[in-house]
Amino acid sequence: MQHFCTYFDINYLSRGLALYTSLREHSGPFALHVLCMDEAAFTSISELGLPGLIPIALSDLERADPGLLEAKSNRSRIEYYFTCTAALPLYIMRQRQDAKLVTYLDADLFFFASPDPLFDELGTGSVAIVGHRFPPSLKDREKYGLYNVGWLSFRRDSYGLACLEWWRARCIEWCYDRVEEGRFADQKYLDDWPTRFPGVVTLSHPGANLAPWNIENHSLSFDSSRMMVDGKPLIFFHFHGLKQIGRWLYDPGWKEYGVNPSRTLHKWIYLPYIRVLRQVGRSIRGRTRSLPAGVRRIYSEDTSGSGLGRIRSCVRQLRDKATEISRGSLILCFADRSDATINDLA
C-alpha cells in the first residue's frame, strides 16, 4: 500500500480528483490523503465516498499541530497553504502507523504510467526529491529552488523523520511567497537537503515531473500506446499554470516559460488531461450537495454538441471580443472527441 497525500480547496477539486483518477489507473494499492483547505472540499470528498480517497479536515491538522495556527495569523492564504505542506506527511505518519513511506504530491500532477520506477529508484533511501531541471534559458528561476515541491517521499526512519521535522519547523518560522535571504515559500529549503541529510535521493527518471519549465530539455514521442520522454515512459506531468479561460478554452501557461509546443505535447499530454478534468466535472454534477453555487455552475456547464464549426465559432467570438490569441498558445477542448488546438485552425 502506497500512501500519497496532497491538499487543495474547493477551487481545485476537479484537479485533485483528476490526480486521484490517474492513480486509480496506474498505481497499485494506494491511499490518497487529502488535506481539505476549506469545508466545502471536505464535505464534497466525504460525500463522493471514493475508495482510497481519504479527506482530512484542516481543523484536525491544526489541532494536532498548534504551531500552524500561530503561523496562520501572519501570512496570506496561499502562504499558509505552503506552510502546511511539511506538516501534512508528518501528521499522516503520526495518525497511520502502517504508513512506512508517505509521498506528497501537488494536486495538479497527473500520472500517465505507474510510479513504481520512482519507488525503485528511491530504494532504501529515506527521502526522494525531484529537480526542476531548468534549461539554460530559465536558469535565473533557480532562485525559487533547485528542487520542486511536486513529489516528495519520506520514509518513517530516523533520516526521513529528521528531514521532515526540520522542514516543518523552517516553514513555521518563515514561509512567504517571495524570495528573501535565500528562501522562497516552502520550496527553497530543499536546496541543500542532499548534503544536509543522509539518505536523500534525487530522482533522475526523465518521466518524473515533466513540466512546462523543463520541456525544452527533453525529447517527446508517442509509441502507439504511451508517451515517452527521452525514450522512457512519461510517469507524471506537472500541469502548473494551466487555466480555464472560457467554456472550452484553456491557457496552458506556456508563454511564461517560452514553450514552443509540439503537436505531441498538445495531443498526448494536455488534451488527455483536460478531457479528464471535464469528465470529472460532469461526474461531480449532482453527486455532491455541498458545492457552493458559483462552483456548482462551473461543474454544470453545458458541454453538448461537437464539430469544427463550433470550434471556429468559439474562435470568432473571442476575436470579436478583441481577445488576443497567439498561434499555438491556447487549447480548445470539447467533452467529446472534437478537440483541437489553435494550431489546427490555420
Which backbone phi and psi does 98 adopt, to 5 degrees?
-80, -5
Residue 326 is predicted with a pLDDT of: 41
CATH number corresponding to 2-240: 3.90.550.10
DSSP string, 151-216: EEEEESSHHHHHHHHHHHHHHHH---SSEETTEETTTGGGGGHHHHSTTEEEE--TTEEE-TTTGG
- CA 173 – CA 82 distance, rounded (Å): 12
Is the Cβ–Cβ distance between 86 and 164 less than 8 Å?
A: yes
C-alpha cell read off for 317: 467570438
Residue 246 is predicted with a pLDDT of: 82
pLDDT tens digit sequence for 228-245? 999 999 999 999 999 988
Is the Cβ–Cβ distance between 110 and 18 less than 8 Å?
A: yes
Residue 291 is predicted with a pLDDT of: 58
Q: Can you state the angle between helices 13-26 and 271-284, rounded to 10 degrees? A: 110
pLDDT tens digit sequence for 297-314? 444 443 333 444 545 555
Q: Report which of 201, 197, 186, 12 is spatially closest to residue 86, judged by C-alpha positions.
A: 186
pTM above threshold 0.95: no
Kindly give the pairing relationship between strand 227-229 and strand 232-233: antiparallel
* Residue 126 C-beta-side C-alpha neighbours within 13 Å: 16
- CA 51 – CA 24 distance, rounded (Å): 9
- CA 104 – CA 148 distance, rounded (Å): 11
* Residue 212 C-beta-side C-alpha neighbours within 13 Å: 20
pLDDT tens digit sequence for 172-207? 999 999 999 999 999 999 999 999 999 999 999 999
- CA 64 – CA 274 distance, rounded (Å): 36
Residue 252 is predicted with a pLDDT of: 93
How many C-beta atoms surround the C-beta of residue 79 within 10 A? 19
Helix (H, G, I), strand (E, B) or coil at 150: strand
- CA 26 – CA 116 distance, rounded (Å): 9
- Quick one: which H or E segment has residue 6? strand 2-8
* Type of residue at 275: R
- CA 102 – CA 5 distance, rounded (Å): 7
| Sheet containing 331-332, strands listed edge to edge, beginning at the edge strand earlier in sequence | 243-244, 249-251, 331-332, 340-341
Which residue ranges make up each domain of the chain? 2-240, 243-346
The list of the chain residues with pLDDT below 50 reads: 294-308, 310, 319-327, 335-346
Q: What CA–CA distances, in Å, run from 90 to 3, 64, 77, 96, 171?
A: 12, 10, 21, 10, 13
Can you tell me which residue has the cell 470539447?
A: 334
Residue 289 is predicted with a pLDDT of: 58
